[in-house]
Structures are given as structure tokens and as C-alpha cells.
Structure 1
Amino acid sequence: MFNTENGCFHPINLHVSEELPKQFTFPFYYTPHPLCIRAADEVKSYLSTQTDFEHNFGIDYNKDSLKIGKMFGVMVVQTVEGQLGYLTAFSGKLAECNHLKGFVPPVYDTLNLDGFYKQNEGYLNSLTSKIEKLEQNLELEIARENLKKTKLKSIQILQVFKSTAKAEKKLRKERRISAENKMLDNEKELLFESLKQQSIRSNLDLKYLKLKLEADLKAAEDHLLGLTEPIEVLKRERKTLSASLQSQIHEQYRFLNARGETKDLLTIFKATDLGRPPVAAGECAAPKLFQYAFEKDLKPIAMAEFWWGISSNTEVRKHGQFYPSCRGRCEPILGHMMQGLDVEPNPIERAGVYNGELDIVYEDDVILVVNKPHEFLSVPGKTIKDSVLTRIQSYLPEAIGPLLVHRIDMSTSGLLLVAKNERTHKNLQKQFITRTVKKRYVALLDGVLEGQKGTIDLPLRVDLNNRPRQLVCYEHGKKATTNYEVIEIKDNQTRVYFYPISGRTHQLRVHAAHYKGLNVPIVGDDLYGMPSNRLHLHAETLSFQHPIKREWVTFNSKVPF
């Protein structure tokens, strides 16, 4: 039973019907072990009833404070003597604390008042305060406005002068032409000399006017610079100090592994594509659990992580549901920390294997329609080369052009359109771009959906810290729109038609699972819902104008679930 008085090690017994796992959990794709489920249930029970700390997870409607859900982790461990127990941790801070009874401590405590970070944080805050005070100076705004007015006035004065000079130049030209036939030579000579002097005087006046305007502009710029330079000096100092502090902090995050080896954040992430640690690296639950286990000579047996509370606005997170560790922040760290452990193989590396023949639904001289099986790639991946595209390239060795006109996710089954030549590909691709192609997907949702039809409009972008997951993002996301229609509700599941207007990665999966969408994930969605025998999403119908026949054609594929 979870008890805050027993420290961080919480005893747990192995049931008669249970066996210890033969290998440690692969943290980025797993089914929770029964021991982890029981450990998580104890932590959930504690979180539901505890009075030790105050934090609004967003599940108590009587609380009005800021709602923040949290990821928690449990790790089943074994002592040297063979006693089983579990550790638990939370990601980041909880109740504005790094240390809470019953939970393992952070790898490095940035909230330690005696630590260098907190001591320097005060100075950073004082710099920020000084900067804000200087930026709020009324004289600064007046100087900026004065510079704008000076620039505008300079432009206007120059425009008036040049317009007048142009008119005078035209008049002088007309007088020269008129004098050619009406004046004697000596009179013309005097007139031309006078006109020449007027032209010289006009050019000199323009030169001195520009010098005057430039002097006025420089005076306005210098005045503004005198007010902004102290701000920039403070900002440069803050930036330098902040970068130095960040580097020092990253050096303090030193992670053990099962071999007793230690690496800091900078070293771990130096070998990654990013080259440097992302924000909050090392603050997730999983690294905390490993670190404590290794420090206390506890053997890691299995691990699971679950979400507790309200979902964020961007991610798909369901209260109480298990999730894999994040890849962007945790994969490099755990890759080091799990060295020396016997870890389950990565199931993703074994995914995408299809031993059967491709099901060709239709074929003629210019197009081909394939029924893609689930868990099979449309195009080759980084490690998996077998795909619809590679199979089609072998099937049509003489075909030229990109072949595939569109793609569907690896876990999704259904219709894919292939063009046998480049001209056909351009024709069909244009139909996709102009959204004249009609697609219908069938999905089985893991719950009862209220309402019969509607539209979901949630912009999407990739989660840079957790690829290939997608986020809802109104600032940087690409527009994604889906129409849906309920077919039937049976056994607490809802079968729906999806009509995607756009074609973003994981669009239908996120639109189904996100709380601003349908808030009901697709059955078998291992990224945004719960794993099952497969993702219950199928591209059933595809309709478009045939590029040669110029007639509307429709193809169907039987739903396999």
C-alpha cells in the first residue's frame, strides 16, 4: 500500500498467478505489467484522497485555481535481499515542490535555496525587473514616436522639394527651347548661364537639405539609442548569465546507468541531432525513477507511466491512462540509463512486416488502386524499407514518376492510389490539392459519441519532443478539417464515417481523441488512446475523376473490423 511514511520504497507482493517479467519494459512502447498496474492503482488511490499537498489537477470542479495535469511513473524494483516494491515519481514540479513524501527526489533540485541556481536566479530576476522598468519609461515611448515623426517629416520635405525642383527644371527646359529661335546669341548666352546657375543652386539646396534632415534624424536616433542602449546592455548580461546558468544546470544533471556509469545532460545530448538538451530534459518521471533505483542499489523490474488530471490544450492526454515515455527529452537519457539492463526489444523495429501479396483492387494502363494492410508503411521509413511504394516499384519496374499519389498512416488500412506515369500523377495530385477527391474512412471509437454529425477543425503540427505524435497548435499548426457522421452505437463503441477535408499526419486520430474534437479515441490507437489488436481505422472509399476517361470513378474496400 502506498504510504508516505515508509519513504520512497513501497512494498508490493507478487500474486500466485503472476510472474516477474523476463525483461525490463521497453519504455517507448509497452503494455503495462500487472505489477505496474497494481502499483499505479495504489498511487492513483492516494492521489484521489490525499491531503498532504495542494495541487489542482483539474478533476475537482470545486477548485478555481490553475488546472495542471501531470504525468506520473511507477517502477517495480527488487532489493538486494529479493524484496519486491515500487517507486513512484512525477514529472517536473508538483504543488510547486520537487520533494514530496513518498515520491523519489529529482535528479537535481533547481528549487534548492542554497544551490547556485536559486542564488543566481534572484539576480536574473533583478535584471528582468530593471529591464522592465526602463522599458516602461515614458521618455522611451516619446523618443520612439519622435523618431517616427522625424523620419516621416524628412520624407515629406524631400518629396515637396523634389517635386518643386522637378517643376522648375521643366520650366528651365521650356525657356531654353523657346530662346533658341527668339533670342540673339548674346542674349541666349546670358539666359543659358542664368538657367545653369539656377540648376546648380537647386542641386546645392538639395544637398544641404539632405544634410540638415540627416542631422535631425541622427539626433533623434542618438536620443533613442541613449535610452535603449542601457536596456540592451542589461539584456545581453541576462542572456549571457542565463546561458551560463543553463549550462551549469545541465552539468548538474548526472545520470547513472545499470553499469554504474555516469553521464551529464550535455554529454548525452551532444550526440543527438539537436546537439543540446531541450527544455526540461531530465525532469520527467522515468529518469527520476532510474536514478533513485541505481543510487539505492535497487534492480529495475518493470515500469509504466500514467497521466493524472486534465489534458493540456495541445496534447491528447486521458485521465488515468498509461502512456509511453516521451522521445525528445527521455529517449537519449534512458538510452544511457538502461545500458546494462536486459530490456525488451523495440517492437516498433519489428513493425511494418507484411508477408502477404499486395491486394490490387483495380488496375488499368495509367492507374492502380491498392488495399494497404494495417501496420504496413506507405513509403519506406528510416529502418523499415518494405512498403507499398517499394512493392509497387518492383511490380511496375517500367513505371516512371513518384507513383504514390497520397499516403495513409502505417497503422491505418485501406485504399491507396498509384499513378503509373508522371503526367497521370500530376493530374491526380492536382485533384488532391484542389480537394475534389472524395475520401471516406470508417473508424470504431472507444466510447459513445453524442450527436450524429459535425465538423472538427483543429490545426495540427508535429510534437518536436515526441515524434511522431501530433499536437493541436493554433499558432504554428496547419489547418486540418474533418467531417464526421455516426453509423451506429453498439457495445459502448461508436462506428463513424470520417470525411477528411485536409490530409495531415494522424489527423483523424487526433481529431477523434482530443478533448476539443470528439474526445473519444479510435479503438486500438496506441498513440492517443489504448492499444488493441489493431488501429480500427480504414480508408474505405476513394472517388476521383479518371485522368484519361474523364469520368468520375469510385473504389471501395471492405472494412476488416
Structure 2
Amino acid sequence: MENNTYFHTFKQDISTIELPTRFTFPFCYEPHPLAAMAAQELQHYIEKQNEWTHNFGLDSTGEGLPIGKMFGVLVVKKEDEEIGYLAAVSGKLAGSNKNQHFVPPIFDMLEDNSFFLNEEVLLNALNRKIENLEASAELENAKRNLDLLKSEWGESHDALKSKLKAQKKNRKETRTLLKPRLSDTDYALLMEDMQRQSLKDKQQLQRFQYEMHIAMKQESDHLQELLSTIASLKEERKIRSGNLQKRLFEQYNFRNAKGQSKNVVDVFQDFDNTTPPAGAGECAAPKLLQYAYENKMTPVALAEFWWGCSPASEIRRHKNYYPACRKKCEPILGYMLEGLVVDPNPMQQETTLAIELPQIYEDEDIIIINKPAEFLSVPGIYVKDSVYNRVLQRYPEAGPIIIHRLDMSTSGVMIVAKNKASHKFIQDQFIQHTIKKTYIALLDGIIETNSGLIDLPLRVDLADRPRQLVCYTYGKPAQTKWEKMAVENNQTRVRFYPLTGRTHQLRMHAVHPKGLNTPIVGDDLYGRKANRLHLHAASITFIHPSSKQEMTFEIDPDF
């Protein structure tokens, strides 16, 4: 393969654009101008090309299930100093891994007659066999016959036991009645006869139970034989799938800028002692870096963007830039970037020390803070400056302090406690949902309706924390009332009334298609980055811990 097979020269003049001195930190970044230019050229290609067909869900003309895709561009420098870019897509595109515009996968499992496809044929055959057996009339009849038999024998068993119990009761009553009237000899004869009857009853019950056991065992054995066949096939499928995954892992050997190579299993073991998830190495960024290293190109800048409709649960907006995913890519990219000078992780930079923490009220029990945007409520793993630490510096003997939190990017009114009793009193109000809070947000678009209720359950995206997902199966209830305040320069100012307090609730309810379908301005997780997240905790109403009077504090946003 020639080195320039997937190398694209820029169509525009880039001579005035200065190269970055450090490579992109892939998990939090603003695209370098060259990466943004490459992304725009790639988007133009996707719109105009006629080499392949894929339904991105952007119009009603596409065939098949609409699926959006993540694309990536990597600005590179060749050995002759020429600057250009590589392009890649996460996963396969239009059912194939082969496309003249995109770098190939690290391992092409879809290659004709590959071990993956051959084994997939066997696994699919096993799946069909299992599905057919599980849906077979024979299995259904065996289950139904056993259930009917259990029911019939159970009813007969209960009836027989009731009958024998009644006979036993009658014998007891007869003994009691006749004992005073019979001679000792006659009473002894009566007892002997009753013992024979009792023994006969026990034998009848035992015989019945034996016959019941034999009858049900026949049906049960037949059912177990069918289930064992299915279980055996499932075990074979599990072993085959495990062996296939292991063999796939052996094909994924990642390179880094030092010229080293490491298998994906070792990469994940060294990172956090876990097993690689399925699809590890199939994202755009690893493909791009691998191709660059293999062809002696120096990575300069990276950007990834979404193209197409959003998935049902997570938020992906057409043409927006996104960081690399954490679960699959963090271990891999961490290794592949060794040897490059990379931008520092902004989440690990202590940048808030010069920020003032405005205070609007204080008494012996509480302090009301106007928390700035991009300021933590509590210390993070790397950044320690926070509302908690600021208050603790002033009042070293203060109680638990933090009663509730605001997201780092959210500004606005926040209550902190100065003693344990106040903390508990106000926290109980949060638990009982008696505290009233409102937020003001500026949305990046025009909302036509005037008010409503959004009810979308949320849970964390385990593969890409701290992002949230809409999940009707495992999500926690999340409800938000809202009303439109004004439309300003094609943006809508709204007031939110959260009825629950889930992580990123307002951000998700704003951007999700079943919510307002419009991101908050500056939402770098679910929308587009700006100077700040335009979300502000505007007011809070609660009962004061000492006076027991209702108090309301309101702070207007600065946007």
C-alpha cells in the first residue's frame, strides 16, 4: 500500500495557519483550525459523494434503519513535511470496511473468507437452532403438559389428603363415642380394625404419591431433555464466542509514537486491569493514529464529529464535534499517544483560584452563594478549589457544609450550611421535595411552544461518563416543567422548574428530541461549546432552620 493512499491534501490555502505545538487532548478539546478545516472538507465529501449509500436518517429517502455515524479527521505531516489529513469512520460504513476515502480498520474482520466471517456463519447457525428450539411446539407442549399434569395431580392429591383426613377424624370421633359403651375386649377389637384402616389409608396415599411421581417424572424428563439440548447449544455458543473474541483481540496490536506496539488485552490490563469491551479499536481515532504511524506520518491535530440522526437514548447532534469515548478509547489512545507532546487535560488544571465566590447572604446557620460558572461545588479528583473548600477556609469548624450541588458549568444560587443542625434541617427539605428551585437557560434555537412538562428518565452512560442517557428500563424518573420567557437573536430564554434533581437533567431535557430538542447555549457535552454554559440557578425557596420562616433568594444570570 502506498503511503499516500488515504492522504488528502487541503483544498484551501493553509500556509497562514500555524501548526499546533502540541497534539489534541482527545477527551476535551476545541478543534484546531486545521482540524476544523479538514472536518469541513470531509463533510462536503460525505454530502456530495456517490460511491456508497448509507441511511443517516437526515431525510426520508434513505433505505434501511437510519444510523448516524462518528467520523474523524487527523491532520498529519508526511516525511517530506507536506501537511494533509486522514479521514476515518467509527465502525463500518454502508456494510463495509473498505472505502477509498477512509483509512482501513486495524483489522478487517469483514475481509472475504476471514476467520471472523466463517465463525460468524457457525454462530448464526447456532443462534437459529437455539431460537427454533426455544420457539418449537414440542418445547411448548412439554411445558404445558407438565404444568397440566402438576395441576391435575395436585388437585387429586389435595382431594385424597382431605378425604383421608376426614376418615381419620371420623375414626377419632368413633373411638371417643364408643369407648364408654364397649367392653375392653370389644374396644381392643375396634382399635385393631381402626389401625388396619389407618395403615390402609397411608398405603393408599403412598401409592398415589408414587404414581404421581412416575407420571410427572416422564414429562419432566422429556422437558429437561429438550432444555438440556438448548443449554448445551448455548454453552457451545458461549465457548465459540469467547474463542472468537480472543482471536479477534489477538489481531488488535496498537502502535504509538515511540514505535512500540502492544496488544489490546495488554493495553486494558495495564490501564485498569479490565477486559477490552467489544468493538475496542473500531473507533475513528485509533484507526487514524494507527495508519499514520504505519505510514510514517506525524499526527498534528485530531477532531471527531457526528453525522446523521441522534441515537434514541444518547445525544449526538449532526455536525457537532465530540470527544473520544472513554470506555473503549481512553486506554487505547492513552497508549497510542505515548511519545507525542499532548495538550494537558483541562479537567486536571487548577484554573479557578483567581475567581471570586460572591456571597449574597449570611447568618449563624447558612450562607447563600452565587456560584460562578466553571466552579466546583465540591473538590474533584484533581481540582480542589470549590465552594466547599472556600467555606471551610473561612469556617474550619463548620458542619457538613454542602447541602446540594450545582454542576461545575452551572452558575447561580446555592445554600451552604454552617452547622450540622442546619445542614440536616435543609437537607430534609430537599429529600421531601419541598424546596422550590428555578433555573434560567438560553437555548440555541427558537422554541415555538410556550410551556410544558418534560418526563424523560435518565441514567449515566457507563461507556462515556459523565454523559447521561434517556433510558426507560434502568433510568431514574426525571421531570421538568418549563416556560418560555423570550426569543433573543434566534435563541430562546426559558425558565426551568425541575421536579427532580438528576445529573444533567436540564441539559438532557433541553437537548433531547423528546424534550425541547434544542441544546443550551455553550453545552459542550450535548451541544456546542461557547464562552460558558448558559444555565443559571436563578432562585431557591426554603424554610430557614432557626426562624422556621420561608425564605426566597433570587439571582439574575449574567447572560
Query: Shorter-chain TM-score category?
Result: over 0.9
Partner of 1:494: 492
1:447 partnered with 2:445: yes
SS for the counterpart of 1:322 is: coil
- 1:228 Cα shift? 2.5
Contact 1:14 1:35 survives alignment (8 Å): no
Partner of 1:58: 57
Q: Match of 2:374, as an amino acid?
A: E
- CA spacing shift, 1:262–1:200, aligned 2, 3 Å: same
Partner of 2:461: 463
Partner of 2:519: 521
- 1:116 Cα shift? 1.3
Task: Name stretches of at least 5 consecutive residues in structure 2 with no aligned partner.
Answer: none
Comparing 386-395 with 20-29, greater Cα deviation is found at 386-395
- 1:509 Cα shift? 0.7
Comparing 510-519 with 74-83, greater Cα deviation is found at 510-519
Report the Cα distance in structure 2 between the residues aligned to 1:165 and 1:63, rounded to whole angstroms. Answer: 74
Contact 2:374 2:408 survives alignment (8 Å): yes
Partner of 2:405: 407
Partner of 2:207: 208
- 1:546 Cα shift? 3.2
Q: Match of 2:500, as an amino acid?
A: S
Q: Match of 2:234, as an amino acid?
A: K
TM-score by length of 1: 0.93
Contact 2:350 2:385 survives alignment (8 Å): no
- 1:465 Cα shift? 1.1
Comparing 243-252 with 110-119, greater Cα deviation is found at 110-119
Structure 1, residues 290-317: CA drift from partner, whole Å, max 9, x if none?
0000000000000101111111111211
- CA spacing shift, 1:345–1:152, aligned 2, 3 Å: same
- 1:395 Cα shift? 4.2
Paired residues for 1:136-155 under 5 Å: 136-155=135-154
Comparing 126-135 with 338-347, greater Cα deviation is found at 126-135
Report the Cα distance in structure 2 between the residues aligned to 1:21 and 1:240, rounded to whole angstroms. Answer: 48
SS for the counterpart of 2:257 is: coil
Partner of 1:3: none
Paired residues for 1:155-554 under 5 Å: 155-273=154-272, 275-350=274-349, 353-356=352-355, 358-400=357-399, 402-420=400-418, 422=420, 424-554=422-552
SS for the counterpart of 2:56 is: coil
Report the Cα distance in structure 2 between the residues aligned to 1:421 and 1:193, rounded to whole angstroms. Answer: 84
Task: Name stretches of at least 5 consecutive residues in structure 1 with no aligned partner.
Answer: 1-5
Report the Cα distance in structure 1 between the residues aligned to 2:282 and 2:93, rounded to whole angstroms. Answer: 11
Q: Match of 1:481, as an amino acid?
A: Q
SS for the counterpart of 2:376 is: coil
Q: Match of 1:314, as an amino acid?
A: S
Contact 1:352 1:377 survives alignment (8 Å): no
Report the Cα distance in structure 2 between the residues aligned to 1:272 and 1:164, rounded to whole angstroms. Answer: 71
- 1:423 Cα shift? 5.1
Structure 1, residues 441-464: CA drift from partner, whole Å, max 9, x if none?
011111222111111111111111
- 1:125 Cα shift? 1.8
- Runs of at least 4 residues of structure 1 off by over 6 A? none
- 1:124 Cα shift? 1.5
TM-score by length of 2: 0.94
Report the Cα distance in structure 1 between the residues aligned to 2:23 and 2:326, rounded to whole angstroms. Answer: 18
1:7 partnered with 2:22: no
- 1:54 Cα shift? 0.8
Q: Match of 1:245, as an amino acid?
A: L
Contact 2:365 2:417 survives alignment (8 Å): yes
Report the Cα distance in structure 2 between the residues aligned to 1:419 and 1:468, rounded to whole angstroms. Answer: 27
Report the Cα distance in structure 2 between the residues aligned to 1:164 and 1:355, rounded to whole angstroms. Answer: 89
Cα RMSD of the aligned pairs, angstroms, is: 2.2
- CA spacing shift, 1:208–1:126, aligned 2, 3 Å: same
- CA spacing shift, 1:8–1:159, aligned 2, 3 Å: same
Report the Cα distance in structure 2 between the residues aligned to 1:399 and 1:85, rounded to whole angstroms. Answer: 58
Structure 1, residues 350-404: CA drift from partner, whole Å, max 9, x if none?
157344554343344444433322222222333333333344444444444x443
Identity of aligned residues (%): 49
Comparing 487-496 with 386-395, greater Cα deviation is found at 386-395
Structure 1, residues 206-254: CA drift from partner, whole Å, max 9, x if none?
3333332222222111011222222222221111011100011011011
Report the Cα distance in structure 1 between the residues aligned to 2:234 and 2:175, rounded to whole angstroms. Answer: 62
- 1:87 Cα shift? 0.3
Report the Cα distance in structure 2 between the residues aligned to 1:115 and 1:535, rounded to whole angstroms. Answer: 48
1:100 partnered with 2:104: no
